[in-house]
Amino acid sequence: MENTLFSKYPRNDQSILIPLLQDIQSEYGYLPEDVLKQASEYIGLPLSRIYGVATFYNQFRLVPIGKNVIKVCRGTACHVKNSANILAALENTLKISAGQTTRDKVFTLEVVSCIGACSIAPVICVNDEYYGRLAIKDIDKIIKRYKNKSTEQPAAQEVEK
Amino acid sequence: MVELTINGITVKAGEGMTILDAAKSVGINIPTLCHMKNLTPTGACRMCVVEVDGYRNLIPSCAYPVDEGMNVETNSPRVRTARKTIVELLVENHPQECLICVRNKNCELQDLAERYSVREHRFAGESKSHAIDISSASMERDPAKCILCGRCVRACNEVQKIGAIDFSNRGFASTVTTPFNIGLNVSDCILCGQCILVCPTAALREKSSLKAVTNAMNNKNKYVVVQVAPAVRATLGEEYHMPAGTDVTGKLVSGLRRLGFKKVFDTNFAADLTIMEEATELVQRITEGREMPMFTSCCPGWVKYIEMNHPDMLHHVSSCKSPHEMEGAIIKSFYAKKMGLAPEDIFVVSIMPCTVKKFESERPELSSDMLHDVDAVLTTRELVRFFNIAGIDFNELPDDKFDNPLGESTGAAAIFGTSGGVMEAALRTAYSLLTGKSSDHVEFEQVRGFDGVKESELNIDGTTLRIAVVNGIGNFPTLLNSMKEGREYHFVEVMACPGGCINGGGQPIHQNYEKVVKRVKALYDIDRRSESRNSHENKAVSALYEEFLEKPGSHVAHELLHTHYFDRKDKNRKIAVEE
């Protein structure tokens, strides 16, 4: 069965690849392999080429995303204000490395170059909420807050295969 | 025409010609790595940079067209320094293991390092590390040795139109890989090995079976025999500094004997046998009015392709095994019985121009009583290594003849190694089967040559036979389209490699397509010189039918010489994403 996401795009038009990938990602939260295979047949591009594009751009992800996305700013101002240790503390608390998602799919930890909030460095951003002038001791509290919120609702569903 | 100056020499060049080609036309060689003749220029490696008056930066000559009045310098100090730096950077991020590398002394990166006198490690730094993909039966992929020139990507995408591999990631993390970095065995790869032929280093290489062969030869209980494909005899000489297209059959046979093989057989014998079976099948399909066309089945890359991409068309593929598998089956049945040998004690080695044949020989259905028809496949390149280890001076070898009865062959068999050859051989025999008389017309020019799809119509005693030859798997979609448009064919030959087996993935590595033309000519010469040029006139094959197989298409023949195919679409494709 053909994915309904494709229907607004013409068949065999290679130029639609990136908008289509963006649509897939906003639908599923990541680029599921099965959907990429369907896309490959729809556009008429080899899967290897699509994989190449998907791995080239930072915006695309190939693994499911957590319910909460934590972005740690590693820009210059934040770096001067100890963001390296903030990142390390987050990694320790969540027991994952930057770029990974916790096993319960509650948190995804990401590193960004500059979040544009240098005046309140060091800063992290959880979903769309900013936490500035952060100290390592604040981290546990923040994590707990989102963890509690998440357990109230079911965690993000995996894409049906 | 435009006029420009290269290194002070006035050059007349056609409009749109690249600086690289213009320089070549006056005998100036510019080094390249990523450049491929007739394919999209990428300008990725920057080896070919030149200095052009009025341009601030160095220009990649492989991708830059000539212009009126241009003044080009290909050998200025600035150019030399830039090229040397590029080589130094590539060398630094490349495993330092030339001595134990399969491409030692046949590596373009090594050549350039030598040419630009790289004598020290100037840029010590992080070097990439990647796992070697040994998943397939035919090929190994070693991304650590990859210099990201992208030639394999273009061979796979633009020539073969498979698209099994492409660039992934970015910057230092860039690799050429399969989608989701899966093993080649579960990817879209058909294992044709065209990427190996264009790889400048050992990032892509065949999976060697040399150890399996030597182990068998060291085992006193094994009776190790060998067979050689038609295409090998026309290319092996290149590895010994003979001109391309030298027929080295005689030396090849005596060399194999010196290696210690108990018998040296000719796959050409089985090629004649294949024609007997295949032409009979074709005539049967035509007279019984079964679904057309019939596809050839000699090329295992093509078979893998259709199994993976068009499983709905599998019933069109001839059920004949490929020649070396037939030969293996006959060796382990008829010949074993005749010689009083136990089939399980016989070890059959095939010398093939092909990487997919390794995969083919491991297919479980190509066996009888749990014994593979062929036990190991060596490529032409591996055979050279074997000769070297054994201290065989190939150029000094005397000529020798194949062992009988599985060594006798006709000219029809010799041309199996080139695109159109299987078709031509089959037509010669089909003609005689349909008309009942022998043909004096044996050369079918319309199926020869290097066109992508060669189509023709033949009138045999009132029967019109529409045929097509697909030269290189990248041209199969063209044929498929004309089939969809309603064109009907009776018989279609497909060979996965452009030019046929003569340019197979296991052949000597070269970057010169003119060699392929000469190799093909060598095979047609063997055919022309042959005493008999029709497969059905092979006396040893007729004797085999009389003594053992009864007649083409008989029950015994089906048991031993025919096979079946599998739907490989979306099978075993469960993929683990590597973090």
Mode of pairing for the β-strands spanning B491-495 and B463-471: parallel
Mean pLDDT of chain A: 89
Q: Are B189 and B202 in contact (CB under 8 A)?
A: no
Q: Would residue B114 show up in a list of annotated catalytic residues for this protein?
A: no
The fraction of chain A above a pLDDT of 70, given in percent, is: 92
Report CA A129 to chain centroid distance, whole Å. Answer: 15
In sequence order, the 6+-apart residues with CB closer than 8 A to the CB of B55 are: none
Kindly report, as residue ranges, where domains of CATH 3.10.20.740 are found in chain B.
2-75
Q: What pLDDT sits at residue A58?
A: 84
Kindly report, as residue ranges, where domains of CATH 3.40.50.1780 are found in chain B.
210-561
Question: B572 pLDDT exceeds 60?
Answer: no
Catalytic residue among B251, B332, B357, B515: B357
Q: What is the mean pLDDT of residues A25-42?
A: 92
**One domain, residues A52 and A89:** no
Question: B490 pLDDT exceeds 50?
Answer: yes
Q: What is the mean pLDDT of residues B195-200?
A: 96
Q: Place A150 in a pLDDT band, splitting at 50, 70 and 90.
A: low
Mean pLDDT of chain B: 93
In sequence order, the 6+-apart residues with CB closer than 8 A to the CB of A101 are: A63, A64, A65, A66, A107, A108, A109
Say which CATH number the domain at A101 has.
3.40.30.10
Does the beta carbon of A50 lie under 8 angstroms from any beta carbon of chain B? yes
Helix (H) or strand (E) holding B295: strand B294-295
**One domain, residues A51 and A75:** no
Q: Place A151 in a pLDDT band, splitting at 50, 70 and 90.
A: low
Q: What pLDDT sits at residue A157?
A: 45
Q: What pLDDT sits at residue B570?
A: 67
Question: B486 pLDDT exceeds 60?
Answer: yes
**One domain, residues A44 and A74:** no
Beta-bridge partner residues of B453: B470
Question: A53 pLDDT exceeds 80?
Answer: yes
Residue A158 lies inside a defined structural domain of this protein: no
Question: A4 pLDDT exceeds 80?
Answer: yes
Most confident of A98-112, B134-148, B446-460, B563-577: B134-148
Catalytic residue among B140, B206, B277, B281: B281
CB-CB: which of B169, B177, B577 is closest to A56? B169
Give the CATH number of domain B2-75; options: 2.60.40.10, 3.20.20.450, 3.10.20.740, 3.90.105.10: 3.10.20.740
Q: What pLDDT sits at residue B576?
A: 39
Which CATH code fits B117-205? Answer: 3.30.70.20
CB-CB: which of A33, A48, A55 is closest to B165? A48
Q: What pLDDT sits at residue A149?
A: 78
Encode B440-450: b = buried (16+ Cβ within 10 Å), e = exposed.
eebebebbbeb
**One domain, residues A79 and A146:** yes
**One domain, residues A48 and A77:** no
Q: Are B479 and B210 in contact (CB under 8 A)?
A: no
- Higher pLDDT, residue B432 or B212: B212
**One domain, residues A96 and A120:** yes
**One domain, residues A73 and A143:** yes
Query: Considering its fold, how many domains does chain A have in total?
Result: 2
Kindly report, as residue ranges, where domains of CATH 3.30.70.20 are found in chain B.
117-205
Q: Place A155 in a pLDDT band, splitting at 50, 70 and 90.
A: very low
**One domain, residues A35 and A110:** no
Question: B232 pLDDT exceeds 90?
Answer: yes
In sequence order, the 6+-apart residues with CB closer than 8 A to the CB of B126 are: B172
CB spacing of A49 vs B177 below 8 angstroms: no
Q: What pLDDT sits at residue B271?
A: 96
Range of the domain at A28: 11-56
Question: A148 pLDDT exceeds 90?
Answer: no
Give the CATH number of domain B210-561; options: 3.10.20.30, 3.40.50.1780, 1.10.3720.10, 2.60.120.260: 3.40.50.1780
Residue A106 lies inside a defined structural domain of this protein: yes
In sequence order, the 6+-apart residues with CB closer than 8 A to the CB of B161 are: B473, B474, B477
* Least confident span in B103-112, B322-331, B424-433, B491-500: B424-433
How far is it, in rounded angstroms, from Cα B86 to Cα B89? Answer: 5
Question: B129 pLDDT exceeds 90?
Answer: no
Q: What pLDDT sits at residue B578?
A: 38
Residue A51 lies inside a defined structural domain of this protein: yes
Q: Would residue B501 show up in a list of annotated catalytic residues for this protein?
A: yes
**Residue B41: CB atoms within 10 Å:** 18
**One domain, residues A75 and A49:** no
Q: Which amino acid is at B371?
A: L
Residue A160 lies inside a defined structural domain of this protein: no
Catalytic residue among B61, B297, B318, B530: B318
Q: Which amino acid is at B67?
A: D
**One domain, residues A96 and A118:** yes
Q: Place A73 in a pLDDT band, splitting at 50, 70 and 90.
A: very high
Q: What is the mean pLDDT of residues B35-47?
A: 91
**Greatest alpha-carbon span in chain A:** 54
| Encoded tokens for A153 | 């609702």
